[in-house]
Amino acid sequence: MTPSAKKLPLKQAKASKTPAATSRAKTKSKSVAAKEVGKSSSAAELLASTVIFEGPLFRVHRDRIVEPGGKEASRDVIRHNGSVVILAVDYGKGKAKDRKDPWIVIERQYRHAAGQYLWELPAGKLERGEDPLLGAQRELAEETGYAAHSWSKLVYYYPSPGFLGEGMYIFLAEGLIPGEAHPEDDEQIDFRLVRLSDLLERIDKGKIIDGKTLVGALLLARRAKEKARRKKC
């Protein structure tokens, strides 16, 4: 365990289609390419796209489209290379309690968009064309110093698909190997390990409000519950 990684309690419907819409949807159109996992094969017809802002992290496109239902619309969309999230799990000495209620690596850092410090799972942006697993391994090492023996993809999802084209991969990292963290110059990160039960309790009390952390922790808890149920059968 790295010196700063303390094992402490955390302080701090399916849409209905009208006949008219169904008829219009049959119109042939040039579909927007859908390479990301989970995108529907019936995408919108892209009429025009203009980049109205481009920064180091994302681009904002103003798109004119014909939606699958046949309606023409203008949409401002933030395009992003995607992100990786790491649910790093430490089973301690392998005792029954540690297997049932493992330690989870979490971070505390200031988020200007939210205007406050947040407790989160380690995460970071992908470089263009970067393999998501390699990106997750890089981010965990940079922010916490940890490596892991075992990696598996937990889920891929869109945190805010109404206007944000960013997709997030959540990876489960097990068999942690401690090392030295080397965060980027603009990152001030305090990380530690907390019990899964403590993390879930803080979620229930509204003290964990970061979306990717909610998704990852609740999926892990669900997986653990299913595993325990199968053992009883």
Does residue 13 fall inside a structural domain?
no
Task: Tell whether the torsion through CA atoms of 58, 63, 67 and 68 is positive or negative.
Answer: negative
- H/E element holding 144? helix 132-144
End-of-domain residue from the set 61, 79, 97: 79
Phi, psi of 18 (to 5 degrees): -75, 155
Does residue 74 fall inside a structural domain?
yes
194 and 125: one domain? yes
Per-residue pLDDT at 16: 39
Per-residue pLDDT at 122: 97
88 and 203: one domain? yes
Phi, psi of 64 (to 5 degrees): -100, 125
Angle at 126 between CA 56 and CA 213, to 5 degrees: 110
62 and 164: one domain? no
Q: How many domains does the chain have?
A: 2
142 and 224: one domain? yes
97 and 204: one domain? yes
Per-residue pLDDT at 201: 97
63 and 168: one domain? no
The pair of structure tokens assigned to 169 is 């991969």
101 and 211: one domain? yes
Does residue 59 fall inside a structural domain?
yes
91 and 59: one domain? no
Chain centre distance of CA 169: 5
Per-residue pLDDT at 8: 56
CATH value at residue 220: 3.90.79.10
Per-residue pLDDT at 71: 95
> Which range of residues forms the domain containing residue 71?
27-79
pTM to 2 decimals? Answer: 0.79
Question: Mean pLDDT, 10 residues at a time, over the chain (233 residues)?
Answer: 54 40 38 42 89 93 95 96 97 83 95 96 95 97 96 97 96 95 80 96 96 97 87 78
57 and 74: one domain? yes
Per-residue pLDDT at 42: 78
Does residue 147 fall inside a structural domain?
yes
Task: Tell whether the torsion through CA atoms of 6, 97, 203 and 152 is positive or negative.
Answer: positive
